[in-house]
Structure 1
Amino acid sequence: MKAIYFLLLFILPFCQSSFAQSPDSVFLFSYFKGNGEDGLHLAYSRDGLSWEALKNDQSFLKPELSPDKLMRDPCIIRGGDGLFHMVWTVSWTQKGIGYAHSADLIHWSKQQYIPVMEQEEQTRNTWAPEVTYDPQHNVYMIYWASTITGAFPETQIAADNAYNHRMYYTTTKNFKEYTETQLLYDPGFNCIDATILPYQGRWMMVIKDETREPAEKNLKLAFADELEGPYSEASKPITGDYWAEGPTVSYDQGLWRVYFDKYTDKKFGLIESSDLKTWTDNSQKLTMPNGIRHGTIVKISNNELAKLLRVKP
């Protein structure tokens, strides 16, 4: 019964997983280019393979927050209120993240800075935030990767500028009041770029193993009964012999697709599976806008797409 309950609940699209809503729904990809200095970019696809940039690949929203004024790693979901909610990385060194909402992906609310790690004096960064909605509890969980100097010394090395990330989180019901920041996941290794989605009445996390020595730089899976965890030990790598980061996931007609940035190869990758055990690399089938970087997928209707197509550069 629990599995059926979750199946009924999760018919709304998530930034991490795109469940089929209707025959006329399309995939939308939020992403950034360069260093994220020009803001939010959007692309769409009807088959999940061929993607076309909207607005001639010009920005839909300029970043305003932090001294750096960046909008990296944009994550968009459709919330329980029907609005699109977005979080993003505002800076390389700030202790908070950005947030805004929209009814149509064109007109956005005032950008808000959420100081999620300000209470930790030794925090070096707050990177790649994502947000997941739990309709059973009507709550949003925002989670991100941070390095706190001196924490987790067992995995501390000098490589990669001595970053040593773990996943942290806060929850909110209204994006005005937030719970105290807590540790979400310590898999025993340097980790970043988590994305969480529902799976068979539970929750599945796709996460990057950021270990540099010996190099991992791959994606793994972990599972939990509750959104806030605890999450299981990380699986074996699901990506291949290349460096991967920034995963986003779709599920459509029995097929799981994990899209990710093959960042050292300067291109996007795609792996597919019907059972989450055997994965096939079908990156060669993927056509993405030039210069696309870490982002997320959500599903929208044809009517919503039509409005986006009318936006002029």
Structure 2
Amino acid sequence: MATPKPTAATRAGAVLAAACLLLAAWLVVAPKRAAALDPFTGYLMAHFTGESSTGQQIHLAHSKDGLRWTDLNGGAPVLRTTVGTRGVRDPALVRSPAGDRYWIIATDLCIGCGQDWATAIGNGSRNLVVWESTDLVNWSAPWLLNVAGAIPDGRNAWAPEAIWNPATNDYLLYWATNVPQNGTTKHRIYAARTTDFRTITTPQRYIDRPGTQEIIDTQIVEVPAGLGSYRYVRASGDGQITLEGSNTITGTWTTVGNLSGIGLTGRQVEGPMWMKFHDRNQWALYLDQYSSGRGYMPVTTTAPATPSTYQITASGSYDMGGTRKRHGSILNLTAAEESRVLSRWQPTPAGSRIQSYNFTDRYVRHVNYDVRIDPDVSPAQDAQFRVVPGLANSSGYVSFESVNFPGHFLRHSNYDFVLAANDNSATFRADATFRQVTGLASSSWVSFQSYNHPDRYIRHYNYLLRLDPITDAAGRADATFRVTG
């Protein structure tokens, strides 16, 4: 039996049906177009803190003015990766144009957690770690996104960033990969397009510097139309902190200068992180002082494409909070977003003091890295500590981090106490971890039992802090404290 030929009407119907199917599919996968968000009222920073299994996770901090930051969740991680290397660095916070979806994308890297720098550079993870949320507080399980596997001989994937590109109606995802090309092996910036951070287009080389000069960290900020000559400005760590401008994200970029004029080069700072103040046309470019180990500092400007307008912020005019903040990103928050975030992860107090039970006018303090109990401590921050989850065991244990020396913790060494920088060794973490128990001299106070010497407790003796077995009433009084505001 012959197959009847389609009529013009049936052909038109088939074309219409196919078009409807294509449109329906596009509506399902295509991101929503940009919507006018509610006014911004605060700022959220995602960051990591340093080379430890806890430090190389997702940490959050909050600010009302963009310059004074408070750690959320007591300074402990808010998200921990369970995939890849089990560590993350360089997180980027991404909001959808409609403000109804968020992503965190991060480097899959954990130095000191089974990896060293040589391996991470020459044969590291080609993946990024991604989380997704619809409200900034409830996050999906993390997944791995392979971004460098399609780059011939690509050896890692570091420092990811993403920006919405209205010209293509998707995100430009960009990162650094170490790859040999043209006789030189170095980090270059690669980019791909994505709508969902689960699949990407074929990566293309995005930024390359001449000769052997590497480029690892770069971040783009959009500038309001009419303010300066460029719609987009990017800051890159490439031996300098180089500033470039362009009117299209994927078009030609023009170098406008660097920050050497204010004494900042890529040998001192890295991890450029943009923030737009929501109440004025001013920007902060946060820079990670990696060479001195001091974390982020803000440089401000009213014209991102004009290097002569940049100014280093005076040290007393900003406060980075209790933890050292390293390469991350900042998201301006609406009032609703800010309320959800603060309700979920309350800010930690500025610092706690540890008061002696039998010398109530004296508090634990550090002086020249030694630890003792003293009255009338000056400066007051020498007697202020952040009580954070235990470095060796976060379940039921605590550690004491100095407020004015972030990254330094109280630890015992030969049963004497010192304030020391966390070297992330197993010995350090154990020496700096304690179980808070009912006070040995009073049940309304507390005592601190050593994690790795459970027969010993923190106590003072001749006003110096020690770790001792407690065998008598005097020892019980010396080993009893109160944590106060």
TM-score by length of 2: 0.54
**Alpha-carbon distance between aligned partners in 2 of 1:184 and 1:234, rounded to the nearest angstrom:** 18
Contact 1:247 1:259 in 2 (8 A): yes
**Alpha-carbon distance between aligned partners in 1 of 2:67 and 2:35, rounded to the nearest angstrom:** 23
- Would you say 1:47 and 2:65 are equivalent positions? yes
Contact 2:191 2:206 in 1 (8 A): yes
Q: Give 1:236-247 correspondences, 5 Å limit.
A: 236-237=258-259, 240-241=263-264, 243-247=268-272
Among residues 306, 317, 337, which one is paired with 1:304 in the alignment? 337
The verdict on how the C-alpha distance between 1:45 and 1:80 changes in structure 2, with shifts beyond 3 A counting, is same
Contact 1:80 1:138 in 2 (8 A): no
Contact 2:194 2:200 in 1 (8 A): yes
TM-score by length of 1: 0.82
Residue in 1 aligned with 2:287?
A: 260
**Alpha-carbon distance between aligned partners in 2 of 1:235 and 1:102, rounded to the nearest angstrom:** 37
**What do the CA deviations read for 1:19-63 (whole angstroms, capped 9, x no partner)?**
xx52x6101111012236332111111111110011111111111
Q: Give 1:23-34 correspondences, 5 Å limit.
A: 25-34=41-50
**Alpha-carbon distance between aligned partners in 1 of 2:251 and 2:167, rounded to the nearest angstrom:** 15
Among residues 206, 209, 217, which one is paired with 1:184 in the alignment? 206
Letter in 2 for 1:165: H
Q: Give 1:197-216 correspondences, 5 Å limit.
A: 197-201=221-225, 202-209=231-238, 216=239
- Would you say 1:75 and 2:92 are equivalent positions? yes
SS at match of 2:186: coil
The verdict on how the C-alpha distance between 1:283 and 1:167 changes in structure 2, with shifts beyond 3 A counting, is farther
Residue in 1 aligned with 2:30?
A: none
Q: What is the aligned residue count? A: 280
Contact 1:35 1:70 in 2 (8 A): no
Q: Which structure has the highest helix share of the two?
A: 2
Residue in 1 aligned with 2:181?
A: 151
SS at match of 2:336: helix
Residue in 2 aligned with 1:270?
A: 298
SS at match of 1:304: helix
**Alpha-carbon distance between aligned partners in 2 of 1:72 and 1:36, rounded to the nearest angstrom:** 11
Among residues 124, 130, 143, which one is paired with 2:155 in the alignment? 124
Residue in 2 aligned with 1:15?
A: none
**Alpha-carbon distance between aligned partners in 2 of 1:109 and 1:203, rounded to the nearest angstrom:** 31
Q: Give 1:53-132 correspondences, 5 Å limit.
A: 53-66=71-84, 68-81=85-98, 82-91=100-109, 92=120, 93-132=124-163
> Which consecutive unaligned segments of at least 5 residues does structure 1 have?
1-8, 13-20, 157-162, 210-215
The verdict on how the C-alpha distance between 1:234 and 1:120 changes in structure 2, with shifts beyond 3 A counting, is farther
The verdict on how the C-alpha distance between 1:185 and 1:234 changes in structure 2, with shifts beyond 3 A counting, is farther
Contact 1:271 1:283 in 2 (8 A): no
> Which consecutive unaligned segments of at least 5 residues does structure 2 have?
1-33, 110-119, 226-230, 347-485
**Identity within the alignment, %:** 24
Letter in 2 for 1:75: A
**Alpha-carbon distance between aligned partners in 2 of 1:10 and 1:137, rounded to the nearest angstrom:** 16
Q: Which has the higher contact order (CA 8 A, sep 6+)?
A: 1
**Alpha-carbon distance between aligned partners in 1 of 2:339 and 2:52, rounded to the nearest angstrom:** 26
**Alpha-carbon distance between aligned partners in 2 of 1:300 and 1:241, rounded to the nearest angstrom:** 29
**What do the CA deviations read for 1:159-187 (whole angstroms, capped 9, x no partner)?**
xxxx7211101111233331110001113
Residue in 2 aligned with 1:232?
A: 254
**Alpha-carbon distance between aligned partners in 1 of 2:47 and 2:342, rounded to the nearest angstrom:** 17
SS at match of 2:156: coil
**What do the CA deviations read for 1:189-237 (whole angstroms, capped 9, x no partner)?**
311111112225532111111xxxxxx3x31111223212332246233
SS at match of 1:230: coil
Contact 1:89 1:97 in 2 (8 A): yes
- The CA deviation at 1:11 is 6.0
**Alpha-carbon distance between aligned partners in 2 of 1:283 and 1:245, rounded to the nearest angstrom:** 19
Could you say which structure has the larger radius of gyration?
2
Contact 1:168 1:181 in 2 (8 A): yes
SS at match of 1:308: helix
The verdict on how the C-alpha distance between 1:298 and 1:241 changes in structure 2, with shifts beyond 3 A counting, is closer
Letter in 1 for 2:200: Y
SS at match of 1:164: strand
Letter in 1 for 2:297: G
SS at match of 1:179: coil
The verdict on how the C-alpha distance between 1:143 and 1:196 changes in structure 2, with shifts beyond 3 A counting, is same
